[in-house]
Amino acid sequence: MLVRTIVVKAIFLATIALSASDDFAEAAARRISSLPKTMIGAWGDDAQSCGILNDIGRVIVKAGSVDFFASSHTVKSITTRPDRTIHAVTEASEEGEEGILRSTLDLKHLTPDRLSFAIDGTNVSTKIRCKMTAESYSKAIEPIIPHRKIGDEVCFSGTFSGQTVDMEDWANTTTELVPDLLVGGGPATRPVLVALPKQDVSRIDLHLRYHARKENSAFDLAFIVRADSKSLNKDLFARSGCTWSGWDGEKEIVPPYKLSCGNDCKGGGMTVERIAGTGGVDLTFDYMRMNAGCGGGGRYRVGAGDEPKKTSFRLERVPLAMCRPLKAWGRKQ
């Protein structure tokens, strides 16, 4: 009788313990509204992977999405598991594939800077947190351009002595024959711009205004630039937009170290690159049409197209008041 009582009590206690374990597991596997902040950011296979924007081993984790090299996952629901794994049900789109697929992601911190990823319970990989090195930070353009809120603006300026840049005059052209091409039974011709080599540039002012890229906009910032030329006896103006850029000629590196600025109507552009370790920038024209802007035709094309011939102009940050003439010109366009 005593043995039977002991067995019954043991079964009872085991049942209670099992029930408690189930309750704990149910409580631990709780739903959360977004991926944890400790997981948000860029992750890569190694430091080299972290430094290339479109590297196959790079993953971007946001509060409600996870983007791999060839697939993008929108999170629909998230639960945490007892072993601290984050389990997410997602809608996935694969590069080159049509439609949306139902998928799952499991993310787990192995250490604060190592994160495990599993897609549909397989394809397990471990990534390291991508951190900005001191060298990368010293070159990054974003820290020196205000962009916390829409409308943030900044002014850069520089004065120069003896610096020149090649230009072309779009208002005065000659013509030349196009080899081996006939039009209307006669030889075809094409306009040739009048070259204006080594034109003096004594001052450049640059105004940037942050407006945040939207789906219908290709730019992150609006710009107005003015170049004073004593040899032309003119102030040349242009305005359009810029994007953050890390393109080094072969790949897109991160963080962005320059602005890539393009004028409308195939009007060329310019680059604005941070001078490492400073708050200054180097501005380089690349066949940018200037003077009356796109709407007015842009009489002068500024900056040679050949890389060895390009001239950089160093600009430093100055008070916004120095850019008032640029903003006044912009309002008239």
Q: Where are the extended beta strands (E) located within 160-200?
A: 164-183, 186-200
Q: What is the pLDDT along the chain (333 residues), one digit of tens a residue?
A: 444 444 444 444 444 444 434 433 444 568 888 999 999 999 999 988 888 888 899 999 999 999 999 899 999 999 999 999 999 999 999 887 888 889 999 999 999 999 999 999 888 999 999 988 888 889 999 999 999 899 999 999 999 998 999 998 877 788 888 888 888 778 888 888 888 889 999 999 999 999 877 655 678 999 999 999 999 888 899 888 999 999 888 888 888 999 999 886 667 899 999 999 999 999 999 988 887 444 445 688 898 656 656 789 999 999 999 999 888 887 776
282/88 Cα distance (integer angstroms): 45
- Output the pTM of the full model: 0.71
Which pairing describes strands 153-159 and 122-129: parallel, antiparallel, or unpaired?
unpaired
Which pairing describes strands 65-67 and 59-61: parallel, antiparallel, or unpaired?
antiparallel
Q: Which of 261, 258, 266 is nearest to 301 (CA)?
A: 266
What is the sign, positive or negative, of the torsion defined by CA atoms of 253, 254, 259, 262? positive
- CATH 2.40.128: which residues of the chain? 31-129
Specify the fold of 31-129: Lipocalin (2.40.128)
Are the C-beta atoms of residues 99 and 91 closer than 8 Å to each other? Answer: no
Tokens 């006939």 belong to which residue? Answer: 182
What letter represents residue 260's amino acid?
Answer: S
DSSP string across 202-240:
-EEEEEEEE----TT---SEEEEEEEEETTTTEEEEEEE
What letter represents residue 302's amino acid?
Answer: V
117/199 Cα distance (integer angstroms): 57
Predicted pLDDT at 224: 93
Predicted pLDDT at 309: 67
What letter represents residue 189's amino acid?
Answer: T
Cα–Cα distances in angstroms (integers) from residue 30 to residues 3, 85, 131, 165, in the given order: 41, 11, 30, 64
Please report which helix (H) or strand (E) contains residue 44, including its range.
strand 41-44
Q: Which of 105, 104, 111 is nearest to 129 (CA)?
A: 111
Q: Which of 242, 231, 236 is nearest to 290 (CA)?
A: 236
Report the DSSP beta bridge partners of residue 154: 208
177/158 Cα distance (integer angstroms): 42
Predicted pLDDT at 7: 44
DSSP 176: E
Hey, what's the torsion of the CAs at 269, 275, 280, 281, to 10 degrees? 0
Predicted pLDDT at 110: 95
Tokens 């990534």 belong to which residue? Answer: 127
Using DSSP, state whether 271 is helix, strand or coil. strand
102/84 Cα distance (integer angstroms): 23
Please report which helix (H) or strand (E) contains residue 74, including its range.
strand 71-80
Using DSSP, state whether 143 is helix, strand or coil. helix
DSSP 112: T
Are the C-beta atoms of residues 262 and 288 closer than 8 Å to each other? Answer: no
Are the C-beta atoms of residues 206 and 272 closer than 8 Å to each other? Answer: yes
